[in-house]
Chains A and B, each alone.
Chain A
Amino acid sequence: MQTALLKEQLKPEQSNYEAKRFRQTTAFAYKMLLPSLLFIVVFIAFPMFYSVSLAFQGFKYGVPTGEFVGLQNFIDIFTKPTVAPGFYNSLGLTMQFTVAAVAAVIVISMGVAFLINENFKGNSLIKVALLLPYAIPGIASAVTWDWIYDANLGVLNGLLVKLGIIESYLTILSNEKFALWAIWFAYVWKMVPYSSFLLSAGLSTIPSSVYEAARMDRSSVARTFFKITLPLILPVLQLALVVQTIFALLLHFGLIFVMTGGGPGDATRTLPWLIYQESFTFTRFGRGSAMAIIMSVIMIAFIYIYLVLLNPERQKAQR
């Protein structure tokens, strides 16, 4: 289309030269893109297709049977008596964890974003301190939390006893009611900084004149937040929600690996752990891949909901 317009506007010799130049530029651009494309093919597209291909293969004791099993792995996941109950339990736990984690991270991050957006003495120090949980490697923070929750020596137990909230040390990670929420707390602690900075960046783009106008109109704090702040940071919020949902679905694996191993019982056996177990403990790579695909579909569904429901254009149309 662009080339056609160009040709119409230019003289023949000029047109030939420009067209050649345009082709050269385009070819150069594609050459420059080639390394990135190769990277995507080798490290993203290929593993993805390979994983999908595994989901349709039969495996026995870690070895492919060479048989194309169609949707059998998916059918087993949803219907087989020895697989389905465990899968549904993991799915339920994953949903609980994800919804609670995303909600907590976003709400707390919003508050923190407001705080670090204010100009006050020590603001920079708070910003640096805030980054620490995110900067600590995942496994290191998981080990730290494991010690914090320890049933014999844990700081948390010590604190609760000293405050008189509990009489004796609790077994937090071997209690089926507490274990998942203990992991949730450690996860939220780690993820709040990232979203806080993201939302803070969004807040900083709102001109102060808008707030001054709101103050002059005697708009309440809540009204200002819902009618001004929220709509204006919606694109950033949307991004934060998408990223946090992906993180919440996947990144709690390290905490479970270190702290509970999916237990006690199956109290923390969320989908990532179940997929790991199916693939690498039971060497059922086909079923593990099928579960991973199901999880990806869930992730895409979440992202779609955010993108559609929180689409600024849609919001404008509704207003």
Chain B
Amino acid sequence: MKRILIALVILTTLILTACAPTPAAPTQNEGQAGGAAPASVALDFAGWNYDSEKAHDILKNYENWIGTQYDPKMNVSVTMADSGYGEYDTFITTNYAGGGKYDALYSSDHWLAKWAEAGWILPLEDYFPKAKEYMKDMSPFSVNALTYKGKVYGLPYYSDVMYFVYNENMLKEAGIVAPPTTWAEVTEQSLLLKEKGISETPLLIGLQAGSWFDEAFFALAYSEGGDFFDENNNPIFETDKGPIFDMMEWLVESIHETEILPKKVMEMAAPNVQEAFKNGEAAFVIVPGYMMKEFNTPGISKIAGSAKISMMPGTTHATNGFTRLYVLGSGALENEETMAASLALIEYLGGSTTVDGTTTYHVAKRWSVENNLGFSANPLWNDPDVEKVFSSMADPQILAKQKALAQSKDGMQAPWFAEWISFVRTEVQKALLGESSTTTVLESVKQQWVELSQE
């Protein structure tokens, strides 16, 4: 009896192990199922929890719109699963690794290649050719972010640019007449602000190991004309000189010698920088544009009215632009109705649709007007509501000029980018801590790229 029981236990375990769902890529045939149209479609949607209430409201609007204005035969309900942005990649990974699927979901440019290679998301243009046409409306850096291996994978949720923001009142108090245009001037002005006791921590850049680090790091590198890879994804950055080396050396110097950048930036992400700037702790910050709204809102910001955007200091004044997007999940392959509803959802969220007789990028416009989120669709610049909001936020000319100089993150088209950039965060922090030299760190990140590309 005892032996039989033990044998049963082992057998059951082995059977369970053998039958366990492995995180496999879906096959293209999975989507061929057809048949009679079901009365209703239930979509599984996933996203991070930024302004969750509004996100749910938008989905509710979609449910109403699809049945009344898009296709009366469609009755769609959407369930949204969410997590914090910082944990979102893990959230999706664990879900798919456990055999789960989503029909549509949020993604970000730096995860796109990894998710596409894993088969968790599908090339949108294969199922929705109009997606390619939409690219004509989008900012060039967004087009790059929405495309993988030459195929459009999604439509933009929002896109933004890392801006150099300064506190005008602090500069005036120190007798500084114009914001800095080079990094040397940033040092000079910061030292003056420290000397006059106006700010103990004049410069703040979120360098905590996380995705905000990537945006800031690339913005800094691009501002000096740094290039990481050539068009074939071969690393071209130098390890003992050149713009990326110089920028890193400047950061190290700013922490250890001039002390204009506090060490605590390594435990700060962009939202922490936003809080500190709002509290009047810093004179200069590098943050995404959407944070400008809070900076200049009385009641929630101590510096309301004095936050201004200027061109990114540096020799090229270029910056990093990033794009968050709506992508088609492999769950949409379940049947034709799910696919149709998923595509309609992605278009409703990221494309231009006709709602109550008006055709525009409704959802992107709502996010931009109500939350000041940046957008990829250039036609929205001509929208009076959008223009009103953005011109109150900063000088529209500077905004447009900076956005024109935005570049998407180099190397994102490589599926190992997410792993590499995670390694970069740790290594760069070692240089910032003074544990490793800049050359050692750059050599190490270069070697890591080569190793990963050969796997």
Which residues of A come within 8 Å of B, CB atoms?
Answer: 26-27, 30, 33, 37-38, 40-42, 45-46, 49-50, 53, 60-64, 81-82, 151-152, 171, 173-176, 260-267, 269, 277, 280-283, 285
A30 to chain B: which residues have CB within 8 Å?
1-2, 5
B1 to chain A: which residues have CB within 8 Å?
26-27, 30
Interface membership of B426, Cβ < 8 A? yes
Given A174-B266, A263-B426, A285-B23, CB of A280 within 8 Å of CB of B90: yes
Cβ contacts B418-434/A at 8 Å (1 or 0 each): 11001001110110110
B-side binding surface: helix, strand, loop or mixed? helix
Residue pair A283, B114 in contact (C-beta under 8 Å): yes
Number of interface residues of B (CB under 8 A): 54
A174 to chain B: which residues have CB within 8 Å?
263-267
How far is it, in angstroms, between the C-alpha of A283 and the C-alpha of B452 when the chains are bound?
13
Given A42-B16, A176-B433, A283-B97, CB of A82 within 8 Å of CB of B448: yes
How far is it, in angstroms, between the C-alpha of A161 and the C-alpha of B436 when the chains are bound?
31
Interface membership of B253, Cβ < 8 A? no
How far is it, in angstroms, between the C-alpha of A38 and the C-alpha of B22 when the chains are bound?
22
Assuming A171-B266, A280-B89, what are 19 further A-B pairs, CB within 8 angstroms?
Answer: A41-B16, A45-B9, A46-B12, A50-B16, A53-B20, A63-B25, A63-B118, A64-B24, A82-B451, A82-B452, A151-B267, A174-B266, A264-B267, A264-B432, A280-B93, A280-B94, A283-B114, A285-B23, A285-B97
B313 to chain A: which residues have CB within 8 Å?
none
Q: How far is the CB of B112 from chain A (nearest CB, A)?
A: 12
How far is it, in angstroms, between the C-alpha of A119 and the C-alpha of B173 when the chains are bound?
65
Residue pair B433, A50 in contact (C-beta under 8 Å): no
For B96, give its contact among A50, A62, A173 (CB under 8 Å). A62
For B447, give its contact among A61, A82, A175, A269 (CB under 8 Å). A82
Residue pair B117, A60 in contact (C-beta under 8 Å): yes
Interface membership of B17, Cβ < 8 A? yes
Q: How far is the CB of A295 from chain B (nearest CB, A)?
A: 19
How far is it, in angstroms, between the C-alpha of A266 and the C-alpha of B432 when the chains are bound?
12
Q: Which residue of A lies closest to B429 (CB)?
A: A265
Q: Which residue of A lies closest to B91 (CB)?
A: A280
Residue pair A50, B20 in contact (C-beta under 8 Å): yes
Residue pair B24, A264 in contact (C-beta under 8 Å): no
For B118, give its contact among A37, A82, A283 (CB under 8 Å). A283
A265 to chain B: which residues have CB within 8 Å?
426-427, 429-430, 433, 435
A266 to chain B: which residues have CB within 8 Å?
426, 430
For B23, give its contact among A42, A64, A175, A262 (CB under 8 Å). A64
How far is it, in angstroms, between the C-alpha of A308 and the C-alpha of B426 when the chains are bound?
40
How far is it, in angstroms, between the C-alpha of A54 and the C-alpha of B448 when the chains are bound?
24
Interface membership of B396, Cβ < 8 A? no
Q: How far is the CB of B46 from chain A (nearest CB, A)?
A: 15
Residue pair B119, A283 in contact (C-beta under 8 Å): no
A38 to chain B: which residues have CB within 8 Å?
12
Residue pair A171, B422 in contact (C-beta under 8 Å): no
Q: Which residue of B lies closest to A85 (CB)?
A: B444
B89 to chain A: which residues have CB within 8 Å?
280-281
